Amino acid sequence: MRLSVVLLSGVLLGLALASGPVARADEDPAARGQALARKYCAGCHRVAFEQAIPPPVLIETETGEEEFKAPSFWQAAHQENRDAAYFRSYIHAPRDPMPEEPLEPAELDSIIAYLMSLRGQTGNGW
């Protein structure tokens, strides 16, 4: 009997570890948003101070290729008239050269929470 309980406990522990980390309900949405921004947005945008500046995006225009430098998240968050509703609308239906990213509603909420958290930060305008 005792051996069965020990084996069952070991199996359950193994399954829990194999499934990877579980998101906590009280996880900070802005921290989750930063992690998601690193995953989805860092190829074009600088999403954190410690990130290197990404290369400009090349856009094909009528007159040839042009370089476009995507704003950092800090710069975007500090532009006038940019609130959560603006970011929700823009990220949901972006304009060129920003591609549409199929985000789950909770992911979009977290990225917006991260952007809005940057508004309270002062600094060098990274």
Query: Both tokens of residue 68?
Result: 């476009």
Structural domain includes residue 102: yes
- For residue 17, is it within any domain? no
The answer to whether 82 and 71 have CB atoms below 8 angstroms apart is no
pLDDT of residue 20: 37
**Which pLDDT does position 76 carry in this prediction?**
95
- Tokens 């975007």 appear where? 76
- Say what the pTM is: 0.75
Instruction: Supply the range of the domain harboring residue 98.
Output: 27-119
Each residue's pLDDT, cut to its tens digit, for the chain (126 residues) gives 444 433 334 433 343 333 334 445 358 999 999 999 999 999 999 999 999 999 999 988 899 999 999 999 999 999 999 999 999 999 989 988 899 999 999 999 999 999 999 998 877 788
Does 67 fall in a domain?
A: yes
pLDDT for the residue numbered 120: 84
- Parallel/antiparallel/unpaired status of strands 64-68 and 57-61: antiparallel
Residue with structure tokens 């069965």?
Answer: 4
pLDDT at 26: 53
C-alpha to C-alpha distances, 79 to 4, 28, 75, nearest whole angstrom: 62, 24, 6
pLDDT at 23: 45
CA 75 – CA 11 distance, rounded (Å):
49
> Would residue 13 count as lying in a domain?
no
The domain tally of the chain equals 1
What is the pLDDT at residue 6? Answer: 38
Domain membership of residue 9 (yes or no) is: no
